[in-house]
Amino acid sequence: MQRTKQIGNRGEQLARAYLRRQGYAILHSNWTCLDGELDIVARQRGILAFVEVKTRRDASTESALASITPNKRQRLLNAVYRYLHENGIDAEAAWRVDVIAIALEPNGAATIAHVEDAFDW
């Protein structure tokens, strides 16, 4: 279990660095509430992005992207709505849920796939 947590932490660290390079401001990391956790809350050009980070030790990001089940999707949306409510943000504001999938290869290389507005796919 500790190894899995280390992989997840490494993935989130890579995701934050990637988002910063893309011009996002990181507002929160690992924001928790009764409904779950939001890995990263960021803002770019006035849009809030709630970013789910999935990291796998693999050669591709495919299995990480496939791990977003309908139940996980619902838990994420519940956490998003809780975040909006607790922070006094109108649910009609500009926001989306993104997924960043990271494949960590044995040689230390990382492949990052960023799916913006992921719940529309």
Query: How many separate domains does the chain show?
Result: 1
In CATH, what number is assigned to the domain containing residue 84? 3.40.1350.10
Task: Say which residues have a Cβ less than 8 Å from residue 77's Cβ, sequence separation at least 6.
Answer: 97, 119
CA distance linking residue 25 with residue 28, whole number of Å? 9
Q: What is the pLDDT along the chain (121 residues), one digit of tens a residue?
A: 557 788 888 999 999 999 999 999 999 999 999 989 999 999 999 999 999 999 888 767 777 777 788 898 999 999 999 999 999 998 788 999 999 999 888 887 889 999 999 887 4
Token readout for 69 is 């089940």
SS3 content of the chain, % helix, strand, coil (to 5): 35, 35, 25
Q: Which domain holds residue 44?
A: 2-120
